[in-house]
Structure 1
Amino acid sequence: MGSIVRMAALAGLGLAVAGCSSITNHRGYIVDETLVQSVQPGIDNQQSVQGTLGQPTMKSQFGQPVWYYISSQTEQAPFRQPTISQHTVFAVYFDEAGNVVSTDRSGMEQVARIDPESDTTPTLGRERGFLEDLFGNIGTVGAPGAGAPGAGGGR
């Protein structure tokens, strides 16, 4: 009977440890180092880059034509928000004729961590309390000069 209890305890411990593992998720472009390194300035153009790397994640809308291939890997512990563990942006810069001018790669050093300050959005104007919101308009509706019907304004 004691061995059954020990086996059940070990099985429960195994399930508890397995339940605490984090979930890894990949988002965006899947980077193939061989293909990324094959893009050469002065040799490739937009057609050859699209044939090699596929459709970019984003294209620049203004200025110099740039294609961005964005890849992120996130990890999520149970009952937690996902966090970015790896992030890569591969940028391919083109000239006006569509030829590759240069390439650039950036990683986690470019990721901005933004934490909200609070649960409320600050607004311009004065701060009003609950009672001011509740009773603030008493006497102002229909007051003379307010332009409301029956307010005694001009005819």
Structure 2
Amino acid sequence: MKAGKVLGVAAVLAAALAASGCSAIRESRGYIQDPTLVSAIQPGIDNQQSVAATLGRPTFTSQFGQPTWYYVSSVTGRRPFVSPTIREHSVLAVSFDGSGNVVAAEQSGLEKVAYLSPDGDETPTLGRERGFFEDLFGNIGQVGAAGVGGGAGPGT
């Protein structure tokens, strides 16, 4: 009877351990937004210095056009041995005018995420396609050929 109880407890523990290994892993990435701080940004009142003091450094800034700071945050979830999926996504875009004053603060979410599906495992490139044997034997006769230079020893 004792051995049966021990086996039963061991089976329950093994099942609990296996179930916990299949639970989703949740990861926060990027800027962690505080709704109170985000709502404190007021167009026409704040400037770049006050936004930096309130929200901190942006995730990235615009390179062209109107100066804009982007604060990006994502929460991903994944099961063991599976690629992560985006559960929550938020982008706060704070736009400034030429003198550094806030013009607008807009928030967008998962609806603006663009999902890309790559074309297989290869990156398309320009140029000619080379086969296996061209790659293998393509340089024969190229190194040290007449007129190319290099192939001879010193003093020649």
TM tier, shorter chain?
Answer: 0.7 to 0.9
Pair 51,126 (structure 1): closer, same or farther in 2 beyond 3 Å: closer
What SS is found at the alignment partner of 1:69?
Answer: strand
Match of 2:26 among 24, 27, 31: 24
Deviations along 1:66-119, whole A, 9 cap, x unmatched? 111111111121011222211111011111121111111111122121222112
Query: Taking structure 1 as reference, are residues 22 and 131 closer, same or farther at Cα in structure 2, changes over 3 Å only?
Result: same
**1:97-116 → structure 2 map (5 Å cutoff):** 97-116=99-118
| Greater Cα shift, 121-130 or 98-107 | 121-130
Q: 1:134 to 1:10 in 2, by over 3 A?
A: same
49, 52, 55: which one aligns with 1:53? 55
Q: Which runs of 5+ in 1 are unaligned?
A: 150-155
The RMSD of aligned alpha carbons is 2.4
Q: Of 10, 13, 16, which aligns to 2:12? A: 10
| Counterpart Cα distance in 2 of 1:51 and 1:13 | 50
Q: Which residue of 1 aligns with 2:90?
A: 88
Greater displacement, 115-124 / 76-85:
115-124
Residues 135/48 of structure 1: CA separation in 2 closer, same or farther (3 Å cut): closer
- Please give the secondary structure, in 2, of the residue aligned with 1:113: coil
Percent identical among aligned pairs is 60
2:6 aligned partner, one-letter code: I
The structural deviation recorded for 1:129 is 3.5
Q: For 1:12 and 1:52, locate their aligned partners in 2 and report how far apart those are by CA, in whole Å.
A: 49
Q: Kindly tell me: are residues 63 and 2 of structure 1, through their superposed partners in 2, closer, same or farther at Cα, counting changes over 3 Å?
A: same
What SS does the corresponding residue of 1:48 show, helix, strand or coil? helix
Q: Which residue of 2 aligns with 1:121?
A: 123
